[in-house]
Structure 1
Amino acid sequence: MREISPKELEQFIDEGKTLNMIDVREVSEVAEGKIPGVINIPLGLVEFRMHELDKEKEYIIICRSGGRSGQASQFLASQGFNVINMTGGMLAWEGRTE
């Protein structure tokens, strides 16, 4: 599984790179703060909403600590999606939130 650190992701955001980020936390968790620009698809809904994703794009998967995003990354990769898991999750995120 491909991985990215929170610091690397923050650097890409600061550089203005176009990124596709999916936060797989529950809606209530995301309401407490999220990385600007993320799409929220709770882990339990990933299977049912993956038709909304484009297999030609790369997605960075985010959660609270890295566990759920790891599960989502493995599942989406098995379905042919190009995904990267953010290690450490939002607990390790030091960048801007909204």
Structure 2
Amino acid sequence: MPTVEVADLKDDDFLLDVREDDEWEAGHAAAALHIPMSEFVARYGELTEAAPQDGRVNVICRSGGRSAQVTMYLAQQGIDAANVAGGMQAWEAAGRPVVTDAGAPGAIV
């Protein structure tokens, strides 16, 4: 499965966060699109509208398990997707910003 390290992501790379609502509300990457894994198939159209047509979809969750499942699903749909290794825990550990919807500092739960 294609995997990308947090350090290899650029600020303008497309990021899909598949964590649940309570995890998202506690803290997330500012520019990420949020579609919880539990709602992903029903809300798939939101991704196809928002994702770049010529770029990769980088999928992230808390630690990499759920995002790996969504990455595999996207690959089966013919979408260029990669799992973010280590998830939001690695994102935070790398010093990348974690925010709430209000823009305040967030936390990974």
- TM-score when normalising by structure 2: 0.77
Task: Give % identity.
Answer: 35
Counterpart Cα distance in 2 of 1:31 and 1:79: 29
Misfit runs of 4+, over 4 Å: none
Corresponding residue for 2:47?
A: 53
Structure 2 residues not aligned, in runs of 5+:
100-109
The structure with the greater share of residues assigned to helix is 1
Deviation at 1:48, TM superposition (A): 1.3
Verify: 1:3 aligned to 2:9, yes or no.
no
Counterpart Cα distance in 2 of 1:40 and 1:52: 10
Deviation at 1:52, TM superposition (A): 2.2
The residue type equivalent to 1:86 in the other structure is V
Aligned residues: 92
Counterpart Cα distance in 2 of 1:53 and 1:39: 8
Counterpart Cα distance in 2 of 1:60 and 1:29: 18
Q: Please state whether the residue corresponding to 2:81 is helix, strand or coil.
A: strand
- Correspondence 1:33-72 to 2 at 5 A: 33-54=27-48, 56=53, 57-72=55-70
Corresponding residue for 1:76?
A: 74
Q: Please state whether the residue corresponding to 1:85 is helix, strand or coil.
A: strand
Structure 1 residues not aligned, in runs of 5+:
none
Counterpart Cα distance in 2 of 1:76 and 1:44: 15
| RMSD between aligned residues | 1.4
